[in-house]
Amino acid sequence: MWVIPAVDLKGGKAVRLYEGDPGRETVYGDPVAAALRWQEEGARWLHLVDLDRALGQGDNREALGRIAAALRIPFQVGGGIRSLEALREVLALGAGRGVVGTVAVKDPSLLARMLAEAGPERLAVALDARGLEVVVSGWQEATPLSALDLLRDWVAMGVRTVIYTDVRRDGTLKGLDLEVVARVREAWPHQLIAGGGIAGPEDLKALEALGVEGALVGKALYEGRVRLRDWVQGVS
C-alpha cells in the first residue's frame, strides 16, 4: 500500500484543517518545502489540494506551479476543479491526475465528459463524507446522497480511482472509522485511496489489511506520528 502525503494549500501556505473547518487551521509554512520533504523521504505520489479554490476564495495557482516545477515524482491536484478548463489547467501543470469531487456528485454529465477527455487513469473522484453522508463544495455543503449509491454509479461510468475522506476525522489524529472504510472498500472494486484522521502506523496497517491501495496522510506526517521513510522501507 502506498502512503500518499497530502499538501493542502491555503493563502499560499501548507496547512491542515480540523474537520474541514477553514476557521481551524494549522499552518506548516512553505508548500514547496513540504512537497520536497515528502519526496525526499520516499513518497511515490503527492496529493495537492487548493483549498481556496475549493472554497471559492481565490486560488493557489502560483504555489501549485512552483511545486510542480520542483517535483520529480507524480502528483495529483484537487480543489475546485468544476469545469473542463480547470481540469485541463491542472493536467497542463504536469499533474498525473486531476481530482474532482463536487462535479462528480452534482453534474454526472460533466464527469462523463471529463472521463472521456482525460481518461480514467488521469481523473480521480473524491468521495468526501461524514461517515457515509456525502458533502461537497469544499466540505461545506451536505447532501442527501448515499456514498454507496454514488460508488455504484461511478463504477458504471468508468471511474477507476476513488479517494475517500472521512471529514469528521480529517486533521484530528483521532484514527480511522474502519467500519465505514470497510464498507467503502466492499462497494468499490477498483483503486481506493482512503484518509481522514490517520493517527499512526496502526491505521496504515489496518487500511492495508482491508486491501486499500493508498493511504492519504497529512497531519500525522507533519506531526511525526507517521515516519514516511520508515513506512516506505517496510519497517513501520
Catalytic positions, written as ranges: 8, 128
Q: Determine contact, residues 15/51, Cβ cutoff 8 Å.
A: yes
Over its C-alpha atoms, the chain yields an Rg (Å, rounded) of 16
Q: Determine contact, residues 143/105, Cβ cutoff 8 Å.
A: yes
Partners of 214 in beta bridges: 2, 193
The helix/strand/coil state of 128 is strand
Q: Determine contact, residues 89/53, Cβ cutoff 8 Å.
A: no
Helix ranges (DSSP H) in 12-81 = 31-40, 51-54, 61-70
Q: Determine contact, residues 184/214, Cβ cutoff 8 Å.
A: no
Instruction: Give the cell for residue 147.
Output: 456514498
Residue (of 117, 216, 126) closest to 169 by Cα position: 216
CA distance 213 to 189: 11
Per 3-state DSSP, the chain is made up of helix, strand and coil in percentages (nearest 5) of 40, 30, 30
Q: Specify the amino acid at residue 137.
A: S
The helix/strand/coil state of 64 is helix
